Amino acid sequence: MLTLHHLSKRFHADQPNAVNDLSLEVKRGEMLALLGPSGCGKTTTLRILAGLERADRGTVSLDGQIWQDETSFLEPSRRGVGLVFQDYALFGHLNVLRNVLFGLHGQPKNAALERANRMLELVGLVGFESRLPHELSGGQQQRVALARALAPQPRLMLLDEPFSNLDAALRSNTRGEVKRILRAAGVTTLLVTHDQEEALSFADQIALLRAGELEQIGTPREMYTEPRTAYCARFLGRTNLLGGDAHGLNADTILGKLELSESTHGPAWLSLRPEQLEFSDAGIEVQVRDAEYLGTHTLYTCSRSDTLLEVRDTTGRTLEPGDPARVRVNGVARVLHG
């Protein structure tokens, strides 16, 4: 449905590209998360899709309609894009219903009112029509912004860090609600976020950006369990990065001989998630350095040969800094490339 082909954008001649030769495809009805740290190009990409910025090179198209290429540029008002910003951008002097109606400017009054009420029902805000934005919670304000963006029936929904202003408990609940609403609406969605948990829980596909370039793209499960680079392994959760001497499908490491995800030879860089390490009397000897109790599990930091290792323990055992312990690897070490 949505195609970005060799997209590049530079703001200053003496600085590198904010977006560099980026190519992506998003299927109809799919939710894609553009993930990465500040300055990686994700918001610039979103603004190019919205028509708020013009790329220096490349093509953007939706359903075969060219939005931008070397010779043409479709104005933002003609793209049929819905936008929800980090601060929601609600009109403080308008009540909930009139905020949603604003997105239907130019439509017949009765049809617009019917559509606005239908959107408020979709986002669970029936009965809140006469309230002003300051009378709503953060999560409710976000749902008003979402209803306003959905009201004109956009072909593409763009969400720019929409959950970052919410506290942790509300963020998780609201994220689930927004995902349900967008699924019900059937709208193709692109979410910009720097939060790996948000991307993993929300998206069908994750595109991880690094310095304006696509580092890796895949499903949340693929991105977490099959990172191709150390950058991806680190950004998509905690990981243990180990050097090893590979011999086909095995490698010698400080944790002994490990099974590898693919055949390789010579020096290798490997990734093991903390849940792939477990305490065992038959394991390799380590020393506990730190213990972080996180409710459902305890994350232990251990050391061996000046290498720090993170172990995710769900057994309820209690170890203190300085205690000796033994760990073994449960599963396959992921071979990293770059």
3-state secondary structure 140-183: HHHHHHHHHHHCCCCCEEEEECCCCCCCHHHHHHHHHHHHHHHH
Supply the pTM of this predicted model.
Answer: 0.91
Q: Is residue 214 part of a domain?
A: yes
Is 323 exposed, middle or buried, given 0-12, 13-18 or 19+ CB atoms closer than 10 A?
Answer: middle
Tell me phi and psi for residue 54, to 5 degrees. -110, 125
| One-letter identity of residue 223 | M
C-beta separation of 129 from 118 below 8 A: no
Asked whether residue 220 is assigned to any structural domain, the reply reads: yes
User: Across the strands, what pairs with 287?
Assistant: 303, 324
Q: In the prediction, which pLDDT does 200 show?
A: 95
Q: Are residues 58 and 133 in the same domain?
A: yes
Q: Which domain-ending residue is among 197, 227, 257?
A: 227
Q: Are residues 185 and 62 in the same domain?
A: yes
| Same domain as 163, residue 75 | yes
Q: What is the pLDDT of residue 262?
A: 96
The per-residue pLDDT for 168 is 79
Q: Is residue 128 located within the same domain as residue 165?
A: yes
Residues 21 and 161 in one domain: yes
3-state secondary structure (DSSP) of residue 315: coil
Domain that holds residue 305: 238-336
| Distance between CA atoms of residues 67 and 59, nearest Å | 8
Specify whether 221 is located in the same domain as 263. no
- Whether residue 52 is found in the same domain as residue 104: yes
204 inside domain: yes
pLDDT at position 12 is: 93
Here the CATH number for the domain that contains residue 307 is: 2.40.50.140
What does the alpha-carbon distance between residue 134 and residue 154 come to, in Å, rounded to a whole number?
27
Is residue 23 a part of any domain in this protein? yes
Residue 37 lies in a domain: yes
- Helices marked H in the chain: 42-50, 96-102, 109-122, 138-150, 168-185, 196-202, 220-225, 230-235
Q: For residue 309, what pLDDT is reported? A: 97
Taking the C-alpha atoms of residue 110 and residue 130, their distance in angstroms, rounded to an integer, is: 18
Give a yes or no: residue 108 inside a domain.
yes
Residue 86 confidence (pLDDT): 82
Residues 272 and 182 in one domain: no
Q: Are residues 287 and 214 in the same domain?
A: no
180 HSE (CA, 13 A, CB side): 10
Q: How far apart are the first and last CA of the chain?
A: 31
Query: Is 233 a domain residue?
Result: no
Task: Give the integer Cα–Cα distance in Å for 27 and 32.
Answer: 9
CATH code (residue 8): 3.40.50.300
Which of these three, 227, 259, 293, is where a domain ends? 227
pLDDT in tens, the chain (338 residues): 899 999 999 999 999 999 999 999 999 999 999 999 999 999 999 999 999 999 999 999 999 999 999 899 999 989 999 999 888 889 999 999 999 999 898 889 999 999 999 999 989 999 999 999 999 998 899 899 999 999 999 999 999 998 888 887 788 888 888 899 899 889 999 999 999 999 999 999 999 999 999 999 999 999 999 999 999 999 999 999 999 999 999 999 999 999 999 999 999 999 999 999 999 999 999 999 999 999 999 999 999 988 999 999 999 999 999 999 999 999 999 999 97
Compute the distance between CA of residue 219 and CA of residue 227 in angstroms, rounded to an integer.
11
Same domain, 137 and 8: yes
Paired tokens of 291: 């213990």
Domain count, the chain: 2
Same domain, 138 and 106: yes
d(CA 56, CA 59): 10
- Boundary-marking domain end, from 227, 250, 268: 227
In this structure, is residue 109 part of a structural domain?
yes
Are 185 and 327 in a shared domain?
A: no
CA distances in angstroms from 113 to 77, 81, 91, 95, 157, listed in the order given: 21, 21, 18, 14, 21
